[in-house]
Structure 1
């Protein structure tokens, strides 16, 4: 590969690093030192949801706040996404969603109605009741936050990633961008029954022991989400760019900055890889091994004979939420 081509990969990764939602994730580091220690036996902060031990596994609790500009530009889709992203967080932990609450502010009753309509239609799609919340229609701008409750028998946790495991990406490519943002919408026009079955894959995978760690691909994009998984477990990752499932006509720069409606990173052992991939392929979801977990907390990306460092957590932490001595979820139960 020529020097020009090598510089192209470095330029791509720099653009992705600058564009992705890493700055939003880095904001967590300002707050993390103020968090008090959790009770003994509780799952640590830093995963996709809180995981509170109970008699039958874990109670899961999560919340998502949506960008104000997004809510203002596309209120119905923002309402839909507010439910979908919370469902994805519960699934990424190996759980099943149970109930939703919300906090809605708006200065425009019609916009507020569209937001709630989107939330209700998504809740109906996933068969999750909206059980309460807070409403203020006298705000100077639209804002939306949604919380969700779930249950998990067996956890998929970022803290479970270990060197030697394989990194898998599973993404539903049957969609299109929802302008004006890089949101890959493979949900709102899909059959509801199929969406429910696709979400059910994650708890079934957890209960079958086919994966150890997982995160849903968030606003930080695939590489930014990988960094968050790495930081939790204090590990590194080597990624093969060309192995990442991607729509044919989408550029790498856009795709690596994309927030997919159905996208997960999972770690697994070599012997479980074929069965894990088959679970996704059987439902028409693109899934592939895209890398390996390493011991040094650096994220490297390679294509052909070029290899570039995307981020080094040993010199530049992201969220500050890391627990090197964390036992695996199987040991906790």
Structure 2
């Protein structure tokens, strides 16, 4: 029997050390026993990557969502189902893989209406079909709180996988779409602020950038990539640390949803675009010589560039002043984080 000697390194509680530290510790534990077919293991990217024959690989991710922390009361059952699949497909998109299928596990309350459960299933199915895949199986049981775990599986060539690691000084920093709408929707719901149904839908029905990720992977133009479901700021730090680079973001180039400009002031808009989550866009770096060709693939915004690591994570403000971007965002243990 293994001894369970405790020391200062493994004391404390979940809330005292935070999600990132828990992921780091568990990843170190699990990563010590990986077999040769695991190309990318726990903790280092949006998905795990397993070797296949003929230079192919399988890309796998999983996410757990809960009624109290992830699904506001205003969400329909269909939207709950859609979001449960979308969050997993967004991780697949971040590696550039084509989805093969999604497994889903329901923990449902005994008092749940069958119509409600079927609505969730329909939302799951519709989201999977929208992105060229399907629900291929899973599990159900009863639970004290609605809990849904999804596992998405994708496929791609090994030499096309895009990781968080790979950006180099001089690379161009980009995002796939507008930022801040999902965070604004959550703020509006919690504070009784009136916003359009389009803004609310951006939070309740996220659109993972699956096809954009596939195009970038096939092109070979991108040097690093990840999804920004936890917010732009945290994603900047993840890419910077994985790639050993600094990043400069131009405030005036951050693509902010136009509808928000009549509701929030300038400082609020900046905070929403940097520190709120749920937009499910992709952040990526491009080889500078490939930027023009990449613009033919799909619409995206150039928001800055990669620099030397010691320059840090910097916001080039509209006033011309430079300031550090804080390392914070939408990060709660219940809401985010795959090992």
State the TM bucket, normalised to the shorter chain: 0.7 to 0.9
1:205 match: 216
In the alignment, the residues of structure 1 paired with residue 254 and residue 21 of structure 2 have an alpha-carbon distance, to the nearest angstrom, of: 25
Q: What secondary structure sits across from 1:42 in the alignment?
A: strand
The aligned runs of 1:58-97 (5 Å cut-off) are 58-69=57-68, 70-71=70-71, 73=73, 74=75, 75-97=77-99
- Mean alpha-carbon deviation: is it higher for 145-154 or for 290-299? 290-299
Structure 2 length as normaliser, TM-score? Answer: 0.73
1:135 corresponds to which of 140, 147, 151: 140
Report the RMSD for the aligned CA atoms in angstroms.
Answer: 3.3
2:148 corresponds to which of 116, 141, 144: 144
2:244 corresponds to which of 234, 237, 241: 234
1:256 match: 274
Q: Is the 8 A contact 1:80 1:118 kept in 2?
A: yes
In the alignment, the residues of structure 1 paired with residue 130 and residue 117 of structure 2 have an alpha-carbon distance, to the nearest angstrom, of: 20
1:149 to 1:72, Cα distance in 2 relative to 1, 3 A? same
Q: Tell me, which stretches of 5 or more residues in structure 1 are unaligned?
A: 1-21, 314-318, 322-333
Q: Are 2:295 and 1:273 equivalent residues in the alignment?
A: no
Larger CA Rg, structure 1 vs 2: 2
Structure 1 length as normaliser, TM-score? Answer: 0.74
Shift in Å, 1:126: 1.9
* Superimposed CA distance per residue, residues 14-40 of structure 1 (whole angstroms, 9 cap, x where no aligned partner): xxxxxxxx9544542342332233334
2:28 corresponds to which of 26, 30, 33: 33
Shift in Å, 1:244: 1.2
* Superimposed CA distance per residue, residues 63-91 of structure 1 (whole angstroms, 9 cap, x where no aligned partner): 11124322362343221012112112112
Aligned residues between the structures:
283
1:43 corresponds to which of 40, 45, 54: 40
Shift in Å, 1:247: 1.4
1:81 to 1:201, Cα distance in 2 relative to 1, 3 A? same
1:229 to 1:184, Cα distance in 2 relative to 1, 3 A? farther
Q: Is the 8 A contact 1:168 1:287 kept in 2?
A: yes
